Amino acid sequence: METFAEPRELVENARYAEDRQRVISTLASQTIDAPILDVIEGFARLPQCFTLQSCYGHFVYAAQPDPRNVAALPVEDVGMVRYRIAYLALCIEHSAAGARLRGALAEIPRIDPAYVQFGSADYFWERYPNSYALQVEPERFMLEDEAVIGHREALHVQRVRDRFFERLRALLVPLE
């Protein structure tokens, strides 16, 4: 995300309940990448947040030109790969439960700090105060929506992405 920045502190947001209801009412499962539909639906059940956008993360290369494919990268070298970032953008309620969720999300980059970032995106914050994004992206590209990387690094990113979504799933279990 070009406007990705350090995470901001939670602030009062008088529109939170209204925004949450409006955004969740427009949530369409067919627009969500199938491998993370359960994650997005899980966050939708939590009253202290709502999902703004998400992406599973896509690997595009000569033999796989579909920019929305969800197939795993092959082990054999495919050359340079255009990686379209995996991310989850949430709006969090200014409440004790929201603060706990924000804290738990802030720990997720520990998976691999060089490849996972937690922050606030100006674009979302301007529309929805208390918006946060988690993204899987090589740190040197963290301000961009995609990166062109070698196959070996792409395989590492894929492993990190998979752990990232597993961590989000695990986080949901005690919260639901």
> pTM of the prediction?
0.93
At 63-108, the pLDDT tens digits run 999 999 999 999 999 999 999 999 999 999 999 999 999 999 999 9
Instruction: State the total domains in the chain.
Output: 1
115: pLDDT confidence band, cut at 50, 70 and 90? very high
DSSP conformation letters of 20-78: HHHHHHT--GGGS-GGGHHHHHHHHT-TTEEEEEEE--EEEBTTB--TT--PPPPSS--
What's the domain range around 47?
A: 4-175
* CATH code at position 162: 3.30.1960
